[in-house]
Structure 1
Amino acid sequence: METLKEKLVETESKASIKISGAEAVIRCLLEEGVDLIYGYPGGAIMPVYDELYKFRDQLHHVLTRHEQGATHAAQGYARVSGRVGVAMATSGPGATNLVTGIADAQIDSTPMVCITGQVPRHLLGTDAFQETDIIGISTPVTKWSYQVTKAADIPTALAKAFYIARSGRPGPVLIDITKNAQFEEFDFSYKKCTGIRSYKPKPVMDPAKVEEAAALINSAKKPYIVFGQGVILGKAEEELKTLIEKAGIPAASTVLGLSALPTEHPLHMGMVGMHGNYGPNLLTNECDVLIAIGMRFDDRVTGDLNTYAKQARVIHFEIDPAEVDKNVKTDVAVLGDVKETLQHLLPLVKENKHEAWCREFEEKHAIEYDKVIKNDLFPAKEKLTMGEVIEKINKRTGGDAVIVSDVGQHQMIACRYAKFNQTKSNVTSGGLGTMGFALPAAIGAKMGSPDREVVAIIGDGGYQMTIQELGTIFQTRVPVKIVVLNNDFLGMVRQWQQLFFDKRYASTELVNPDFITIAKGYHIPAKRVTGREELDGAIDEMIASEEAYFLEVCVEKEDNVFPMIPTGASVSDCRLE
C-alpha cells in the first residue's frame, strides 16, 4: 500500500495528479502550510473529512463542541501565532453557526479561512435539506466569500482565500464547496496566489506625506500617539517603540493595541476608550498633534466625534484607505504598511523629550490611582474585586502570559490591569464584543503558542455561552487556565442599569450552576475561591498545574468599572465615580 510520505512526494514531483475535490482541499491546505484545523463534521462536508482522516498525520483536526467554538479557536490561534486560522463546518446550521466568529474576525482584522460544505450543485436553490445561502449571509462580514461548484476550481479558490485573508488588512474569507465538487476528480496542481488584479492590499506609500507627518511631529509642543492592533498586525512594534523613545512622545493603546508596547514602558500611558485611563482620555482634547497609528477611531475610543480632538492636527498611519477620514478628519494621512511607513518616518523625526507634557499624564494618573486603581487592586472592602485577581495573576506570571478575555466588566478590568511584556499577549473580542469568545479562543491561543502560559479571564455570563468547549479541552488535553470571575450578574449590563436606568436590574441577575462540579465532570481540576486569604494559594496552584485548570473566584456582586465615558459623551467627560 502506498504510504502517506510516498503520496506527498508524488504530489511534489508531478505537475499534476488526478484526485478528488475533497482530497484537493486537504492538499491545498498543506501547500499553504496549514497544520491545524478547528471544525465539526456533517453530511455536506463529509467527503473532505474522509480525506482528512487519511492525512491525519500531517493535518491535525480539533473537534470543537460547536461551530462557533471552531471560529473563535481559529481566531485565538491566528492572533497569537500570526498565521491564518482555519475552521471547517457542514452546510446549513453548521455554516450559519460560523457567522458570529466570522463577523468577529472581520471587525478585529483576524486572518481566517472558513471552509463549508454545501448541497450538490443540482440542488442549489431548491431548499434542499440543510441548504442555506451562506454566501449571501456571509458576504457582509468577510473580506471575500466564494462558492465552488466544480472540483477544478478548488485550488484557485483556496489559493486566493489564503492570500486575501493574510494580506493587507487581514480578515476572514469563506469558501463554500458543493458536495458534487468534493466527489469529482480532476488533474490537481497548486500554485500559491501572489496577487489579484482587482485587489490592492497594500497602498503605495507617498514619501511626501511621511515628510509632512514628520514636520508636524517635530513642531508639536504636546504630541500624543494612540496606537492600535495595526502595529501588531504590521509587525511594527520595534518601530513604534523607537519612535516613542526618540521623540519623547507619550503613547496610549486601544484595547486591541495592548501588548504592542510593554505595559511598563515609561512612555506607555495606558489605554484609551470608554473604560480607558483617565489621563489618556482627557488629554486627547489637549494635545496639539494626535498621531494615530494602526487604529480606526472606533466610537468606543472617540466618544462624541463633535468634541474629539478638535484642537489637534491629526496624523493617521493606516493601511486601509476606507478608515481614513471615516470618523475623524485627518490633516495628514500616511497610507501604507505601518512597518514601512514608520521606518521612513524615523530618520526624519528629531530627538525630543516633552517632559512637561508627560508630567500632565502622570498627574492625571495620580488622580485616577487615588480614586479608582487603589480601590480596585488593594481594596479595603470585604469581598474580592476583579482587579485584585488580575493583579495576583500578574505577579504569578510576571506579565509573560497570554491573557484571553471575554466581554464585559471582567474584560475591561483585565485590559486595564493585566501586564504585557511581549507582543501578541492580549486576545479579546474588540469590535463585535462577542460573549462566549474567550473559552474557545484560549484553546486556539494555547495551540498557537504552546510554550506560553494562556489564562482565560471570563465572566459567569459569557462562560455559559460556550461552556461546552470544556469538552474540547478534555479531549485535546490542551492545558489552558480558566478563571471565571463570578458576580452572579451580567455585570456590564447591570452597571449600565444602575447608572442610567435607576437600578432596574431587568434580566441581568444570574442563578448559576455549580461550576466546580461541571468542570470536574469534564475531568478538569477545579477550585472555588470565596475569600481573600485563599486567592494567592489558588492562583499558585492553577499556574503550577501542567494540565488544564478551572478557578472560580466569587467577587463583589455590584462593583462597577471606572473610569467610564457614557455612551455618546465627550472623552473629556471621563468619570471616575
Structure 2
Amino acid sequence: MSENPPAPVGGTGPRDTVRLTVAQALVRFLAAQHSERDGERQRLFPGAFGIFGHGNVAGLGQALLQNAVDPARDDAAEPEAPLPYYQARNEQSMVHTAVAYARTRNRLQTLACAASIGPGSTNMVTGAALATIDRIPVLILPSDVFANRAVDPVLQQLEDERALDVSVNDAFRPVSRFFDRIWRPEQLIPSALAAMRVLTDPAETGAVTLCLPQDVQAEAHDWPVDFFRERTWHVARPVPEPAALERAVEVIRGARRPVLIAGGGTIYSAASSALQAFAESTDIPVLDTQAGKGALRDDHELCIGGVGATGNDAANELAAEADVVIGVGTRYTDFTTASHTAFRNPDVRFVNLNVKSFDAAKHAAEMVVADARTGLEALTGALDGWRAPAAHRERAVRLRAAWDERVAPCFAPHDQELPAQTEIFGALNEMMGDEDIVINAAGSMPGDLQALWKARSPRQYHLEYGYSCMGYELPASLGAKMAAPDAEVVAIIGDGTFQMAPQEIATIVAERVKVILVILQNHGWASIGALSESHGSQRFGTKYRLRSEESGLLDGEKLPFDIPANIRSYGLEVQEVSSAADFRAAYRRAEASTEATAIVVNTNLYGPHPPGEGWWDVPVSQVSRLESTQQASAQYEAARAPQRHYL
C-alpha cells in the first residue's frame, strides 16, 4: 500500500493508477503472472530467491519484505497473493536452484533470482549461461549502477571510458535470451511484458535478465492498475506445417535402418506417450541424449539407451549404420554426435522435429518445426501402416541385450579395497522409485550414468550436461525437491564439485527440505584425470594432494580435508561408508528420515567404468618431448578420421 496514494479517479471504484516503487511494482507484477498448457494453469513464479547488498537491500529487498508482511492492495478488494521469498547463500547456486525447479516443472514455472550490484550480480552469469544453453527459463534480476549518475562511480562499478552506460551487467547480454536495463520507471512495463513472453516461449526460452539500477528500484511512480492484473501466458504447441510433414514422411518411408534420438524437448513437451506410440507403430529403435533419457522407459523393448560419446555400444552401433536419423527435441551437442563421428553411414539423412528452427535445421535435415508431442502424433498418423524392417528391430533388441550383459560386471564388487562408483550407481538405480529424481552434472559420473542408468520415468534422470557445470548438483536438489515434493531427490556429487559449492546446504537446512546428498570421495578429478591420462598428460594436476618437497609437484600425501565434518558443521546428518552394501543400508536410513541427509562414499578413483566405444574430440598436442603425448597424438589422429559434416 502506498504511503501517499493519489486521489481516486472516476468515482468510488478502483483507481486507474497506484503509486509504488519500481521494485514494489515488479514484485506485484510477478505475483500476478500465470502460465497455461493443455488446460493446466499455474503461477509462473511460485517464489523468488534473493541475496541482498547495497544495490538492492532497500529496493527489491524492501519490496519482497512488504509483499510478505503486508500484501494488502489499496486499489482492490482482495489482498494480492504474496510472492514467497527464499534466502540463498550463493548467487550462482540460486540460479541453479531455479533452473532445476523449472526443468522439473517442464519449463511451465520458474523462480526469480535477485542480487546486489557488482560481484553479487556477476556471480549469476554462469547460471544464466547454463539456463540459456539448456533452454530453461529463469528470471535474473541483477542490481546496477545509479541511473541518475549522482554517485559516479558507485562502489563496485566498472568504469568504461568509452561509454558511461556500460556496467558489468552487460556481461549478461550474450548469455541471455532477453536483456534489458530499466533506466526509467515507465520502462518496466514493456520490458516486463517482453520478459514474460520469452520465459513462456518453448522455442526462445532461457535466461531473461532485467537489470535494475539501484536508485530506480526505490523510485516511486504512478502505475496503471491494469499492469498488475492477472495474466495467463499460454504455452504453445505448434503443429507441423503440412508440406514439411510430407517431406519428412517421404524420407522416413525410404529408410531401412532408421533410429530416433529423443532429446530434452521430448520430456519438456510431455511427449513420452506420443513417443512410445510412434516407436510401437513404426518399430523404430529409440536412442536418447543426456536430457532425453527416460522419455521412453528403459524397460521398453525399443529403448536402446544413450547415444554418442558417453553412450552405450548398442546405441552407437545402430547410429553408425543408420540411414535415417530422426532427432526429436535435441540440439545435437558434440557428445550426442560423438564429435561428428557417431553417424558413419555415408548416405545418412536427418529428419529433425524441433520447436526451434535453429535446431531443426542442423545436419542439413528435413525440418519439422513443431512441438515434440504434436509433431510425433502427426508423424505417427502420416506413417500409418509403415514399419521399419523386422530384421532391424530384432537387431536393435539383440544389441541392447548384449550390452546389458556386457556391463553387468560394472554393478558387481571388484577385487579392490574401495567400490567403483558404478557399484553405487547400480545400487541407487535399484532402490530409487520410478518417480524419484537423481541429479548430476559433471565429472566422470555423467558418462557412467548415461551408459548404465535405467530411467523408468521422464523425470527420474536429471542430468545437466548442456553446460556440465560443476556446482550444479547440490542447489539443483533443492530446486527439484521444491518442484516435486512427493519425490525422493538424490544429488550425486563428486568431492571436487562439493568443494566448489557446498553453501546451499545451509538453505536446505533453513527451509527444512528433505533431500539426500550422495558425495563420492575419491580425492581427485576422476573424469579429467582419466582424460588427461588417455591424452598423454599423465593425470597432471588432477589429484588432491599436498605439494611434495621432493618433486615440487602436487603429488604428496592426500589433502586432510574432512568432508563429513564440513557437512556436519551445517547441521546435517552424515553417514560415511566404504562399500556398496553399507551404502545400501545408509540409503535406506536416509530414505526413511524426514530430514535431509548426506552419505559420503569412499570410492576408487580409477573405476572401473563402462566399456563404451564412443569418442569425444579433445585435441592432443601435435608436438611434444613426452612419449605419452606422442602416442596419444597418433591415436587422436586415427580416431578423428571418421569426423565429418553431415551434408
TM-score, normalization: structure 1?
A: 0.90
C-alpha deviations, 1:513-543, integer Å up to 9, x for none?
Answer: 2121122211211101112441221111111
Instruction: State the match for 1:385 in structure 2.
Output: 420
> Secondary structure of the residue that 2:56 maps to in structure 1?
helix
Distance 1:88 1:426, change over 3 A: farther
Q: Is the 8 A contact 1:89 1:95 kept in 2?
A: yes
Instruction: State the match for 1:50 in structure 2.
Output: 62
- Amino-acid identity (%): 25
1:364 and 2:376 equivalent? no
Q: Is the 8 A contact 2:439 2:491 kept in 1?
A: yes
Correspondence for 1:251 among 276, 286, 294: 286
Separation in 2, partners of 1:368, 1:259: 18
Instruction: State the match for 1:19 in structure 2.
Output: 20
Letter in 2 for 1:481: I
Distance 1:68 1:396, change over 3 A: same
Separation in 2, partners of 1:307, 1:243: 23
1:117 and 2:143 equivalent? yes
Instruction: State the match for 1:322 in structure 2.
Output: 358
Instruction: State the match for 1:460 in structure 2.
Output: 495
C-alpha deviations, 1:95-153, integer Å up to 9, x for none?
Answer: 10000011011110111111121122022994421235244201111101100011222
Instruction: State the match for 1:5 in structure 2.
Output: none
Letter in 1 for 2:174: P
CA deviation after TM superposition for structure 1 residue 280, in Å: 0.9
Letter in 2 for 1:165: L
Q: Is the 8 A contact 2:341 2:642 kept in 1?
A: no
CA deviation after TM superposition for structure 1 residue 204, in Å: 7.3
Letter in 2 for 1:71: V
> Secondary structure of the residue that 2:429 maps to in structure 1?
helix
Instruction: State the match for 2:47 in structure 1.
Output: 36
Distance 1:369 1:515, change over 3 A: same
Distance 1:512 1:144, change over 3 A: farther
Distance 1:449 1:203, change over 3 A: closer
Separation in 1, partners of 2:380, 2:598: 46
Distance 1:228 1:339, change over 3 A: same
Instruction: State the match for 1:128 in structure 2.
Output: 154
Correspondence for 1:345 among 379, 387, 396: 379
C-alpha deviations, 1:249-296, integer Å up to 9, x for none?
Answer: 100111011122222222110011211111111221211211111111
Tell me whether 48-57 or 293-302 shows the greater mean CA deviation: 48-57
1:375 and 2:409 equivalent? yes
> Secondary structure of the residue that 1:315 maps to in structure 2?
strand
> Secondary structure of the residue that 1:44 maps to in structure 2?
coil
1:79 and 2:103 equivalent? yes
> Secondary structure of the residue that 1:468 maps to in structure 2?
coil
Separation in 2, partners of 1:433, 1:138: 19
1:547 and 2:595 equivalent? yes
Q: How does 1:141-156 map to 2 (within 5 A)?
A: 141-156=175-190
Instruction: State the match for 2:606 in structure 1.
Output: 558
Instruction: State the match for 2:509 in structure 1.
Output: 474
CA deviation after TM superposition for structure 1 residue 455, in Å: 0.4
> Secondary structure of the residue that 1:43 maps to in structure 2?
coil
Structure 1: tracts of 5 or more residues without a match? 3-11
> Secondary structure of the residue that 2:148 maps to in structure 1?
helix
Separation in 1, partners of 2:243, 2:295: 27
- Identify the structure with bigger relative contact order (alpha carbons < 8 Å, sequence gap 6+): 1
1:488 and 2:523 equivalent? yes
C-alpha deviations, 1:63-93, integer Å up to 9, x for none?
Answer: 1111011100111111112312321111111
CA deviation after TM superposition for structure 1 residue 441, in Å: 0.8
Distance 1:571 1:29, change over 3 A: farther
Letter in 2 for 1:40: I
Instruction: State the match for 2:562 in structure 1.
Output: 514
C-alpha deviations, 1:469-502, integer Å up to 9, x for none?
Answer: 1111121111110001111110100111222225
Separation in 2, partners of 1:476, 1:218: 54
Distance 1:150 1:271, change over 3 A: same
C-alpha deviations, 1:23-65, integer Å up to 9, x for none?
Answer: 1011011011322112211111121111111222622222111
Q: Is the 8 A contact 2:278 2:377 kept in 1?
A: no
1:440 and 2:488 equivalent? no
Tell me whether 359-368 or 523-532 shows the greater mean CA deviation: 359-368
Tell me whether 465-474 or 381-390 shows the greater mean CA deviation: 381-390
Distance 1:362 1:266, change over 3 A: closer
Correspondence for 2:129 among 82, 91, 103: 103
Instruction: State the match for 1:303 in structure 2.
Output: 338
Instruction: State the match for 1:8 in structure 2.
Output: none
Indicate the structure with greater helix content. 1
Tell me whether 241-250 or 101-110 shows the greater mean CA deviation: 241-250
Instruction: State the match for 2:574 in structure 1.
Output: 526
Separation in 1, partners of 2:389, 2:433: 30
Instruction: State the match for 1:9 in structure 2.
Output: none
Separation in 2, partners of 1:413, 1:460: 16
> Secondary structure of the residue that 1:76 maps to in structure 2?
helix
Q: Is the 8 A contact 2:320 2:343 kept in 1?
A: yes
Separation in 1, partners of 2:401, 2:457: 26
Separation in 1, partners of 2:29, 2:156: 26
1:67 and 2:91 equivalent? yes
CA deviation after TM superposition for structure 1 residue 21, in Å: 0.9
Q: Is the 8 A contact 2:238 2:374 kept in 1?
A: no
Structure 2: tracts of 5 or more residues without a match? 3-12, 34-42, 70-81, 159-166, 546-558, 618-638
Q: How does 1:174-213 map to 2 (within 5 A)?
A: 174-188=209-223, 189=225, 190=227, 205-213=240-248
Separation in 2, partners of 1:418, 1:248: 23
CA deviation after TM superposition for structure 1 residue 307, in Å: 6.9
Q: Is the 8 A contact 2:310 2:450 kept in 1?
A: no
Instruction: State the match for 1:395 in structure 2.
Output: 430
Q: Is the 8 A contact 2:322 2:343 kept in 1?
A: no
Instruction: State the match for 1:312 in structure 2.
Output: 348
Letter in 1 for 2:439: V
Instruction: State the match for 2:627 in structure 1.
Output: none
TM-score, normalization: structure 2?
A: 0.81
Q: How does 1:257-268 map to 2 (within 5 A)?
A: 257-268=292-303
Tell me whether 209-218 or 76-85 shows the greater mean CA deviation: 209-218
1:336 and 2:370 equivalent? yes
CA deviation after TM superposition for structure 1 residue 367, in Å: 4.4
Q: Which structure has the greater CA radius of gyration?
A: 2
Separation in 2, partners of 1:236, 1:441: 24
1:538 and 2:586 equivalent? yes
Equivalences, count: 558
Correspondence for 2:306 among 257, 271, 276: 271
Instruction: State the match for 2:268 in structure 1.
Output: 233
Q: Is the 8 A contact 2:490 2:515 kept in 1?
A: yes
Distance 1:183 1:39, change over 3 A: closer
CA deviation after TM superposition for structure 1 residue 564, in Å: 4.5
Letter in 1 for 2:54: G
